[in-house]
Amino acid sequence: MTRVAVTTGPVRIPPTYFVVNHLLHMPDVDGRLFALSAEVDDPAVEPLVETSTPYGVPGLRGSAAAFAAVRRQRRAVRDFAPDLVHQHFGTWSLAGSGAARDLGLPFVATLHGYDVFRRSDAVRDFWTWVTARNLRTCGERATTLLAVSGWLAGEAVRRGYPAEKIEVHYQGVDTDFFTPAGPDAAEPLGATGGERRHDGRDDLPEVLFLGALERRKGVADAIEASVELARSVPHRLRVVGAGSQEALVRAAAAEHPHIALEGMRDRAGVRDAMRRADVFVLPTQQDGEWREAAGLVTLEAQACGVPVVVYASGGAPEMLDDGTTGTLVPERDTHALAGAVGDILRLAATDRRRLSRAARDFTVARRSIRSSAAELSERYASLTRRSRTESP
């Protein structure tokens, strides 16, 4: 059995399940997550997490505690005596990469986006120097760098990460948890063809936006497209999430009764919201240096049997099968967004069911956490075998 220390910086679970999710699906791996600091609110995950400093301490006191915790995190990884160290995010990677170097072990790092976009930043102050050092060291010490999409892999090379180390590894989502609605739940119109739902309500079709209410995630575009579409296709737009554009959403909901802001949801609440939806929209878009590296929420929706409409931006297009499980539209084209959503809502019942099944099948076959974990487990085993062979 391969013994793996997964390392990361500050983390909250939920929502950041992906830093530990593979460990939960690899029976042949004995693993533990070593976080610089962590806030864990899931009994199933808590035993796997070891933290080096309290989470969320503000100001200079928190910064000083974080720096002191790097040394403790590095020591904790060494004491665990792993066969391999796997870092999530190139930021705050000094403890993980240092422990791997101390022990002479393979060091794998998964790049998620921010750690790629920041790679080309100029050093302006102490914090940008710290970030640059972490990112540079991560690239230099890594045995393998895993990018969460092909698009991000190309960006990583363009911004200075060593091309010979980079491989694509799709993170995957839990298709055993994210499933279509069962017989006792309200099924989406894509499954029922617009008939009465199981809870007895004659509902309009529902379009779902779920994510951070920020410019980069495109909630304003979702609203604009929905207002346009409502003139010809009656529907509800449900907005689930929180963020800096919450006031914008509230104002839109006050003006347009078909729009509803529903706030944050826990993991089960996210699944329930997706199961009720007929179309999921992700109008993710460029914001400065940032673009969507992947978009796991798109996969979660499809795993629930919900077709998706997504902007062709960053790595987001790799999370669907365009024309089969949903539709890609040009970035920031709200008219095209409205049209694509309307096309799905107008489909006949049989075509909606076909689209729903295709969305689910795509995610299970090509983007599930099970297949992702199996691929990662094989990678771990290969790297540790090679490391033992090369050891004197």
Which residue, 127, 140, 149, 137, is CA-closest to 93? 137
Question: Which pLDDT score is estimated for 196?
Answer: 31
Question: Which pLDDT score is estimated for 391?
Answer: 63
pLDDT digits (tens, 9 = 90+) for 64-101: 888 889 999 999 999 999 999 999 999 999 999 999 99
Beta strands in 57-200 (DSSP E): 84-88, 107-111, 144-147, 166-168
Residue with tokens 């024309």: 323
DSSP calls for 171-222: --B-TTTS----TTS---HHHHSS---TTS--PPPEEEEES--SGGGTHHHH
Amino acid identity of 223? I
pTM above 0.75, yes or no: yes
Q: Are 336 and 218 in contact (CB under 8 A)?
A: no
Residues 6+ apart with CB under 8 A from 155: 116, 117
Which residue, 132, 156, 139, is CA-closest to 314? 156
Both tokens of residue 331? Answer: 């970035």
Question: Which pLDDT score is estimated for 244?
Answer: 97
Q: Are 91 and 118 in contact (CB under 8 A)?
A: yes
Burial class of residue 41 (count of CB atoms within 10 Å of its CB; 0-12, 13-18, 19+): exposed
Amino acid identity of 345? L
Question: Which pLDDT score is estimated for 148?
Answer: 98
Q: Measured at the alpha carbon of residue 363, what is the angle toward residues 304 and 200, in degrees to the nearest 5?
A: 15
Q: Which residues of 325-338 are buried (b: 16+ CB within 10 A; e: fewer)?
A: bbbbbebebbebbb
Which residue, 245, 239, 240, is CA-closest to 269? 240
Q: Are 164 and 353 in contact (CB under 8 A)?
A: no
Low-confidence residues of the chain: pLDDT under 70: 60, 183-202, 391-392
Q: Which segments of the chain belong to CATH 3.40.50.2000?
A: 2-172+368-390, 189-366
Q: Does the structural domain 2-172+368-390 have CATH classification 3.40.640.10?
A: no
The CA distance from 102 to 94, in Å, is: 12
The CA distance from 95 to 379, in Å, is: 22
The CA distance from 313 to 291, in Å, is: 7
pLDDT digits (tens, 9 = 90+) for 121-135: 999 998 899 999 999
Residue with tokens 């910086």: 9
The CA distance from 365 to 379, in Å, is: 19
Q: What is the CATH number of domain 189-366?
A: 3.40.50.2000
* Diameter over CA atoms, the chain: 72
242 SS3 class: coil
Q: Are 328 and 322 in contact (CB under 8 A)?
A: yes
Question: Which pLDDT score is estimated for 90?
Answer: 96
Question: Which pLDDT score is estimated for 338?
Answer: 98
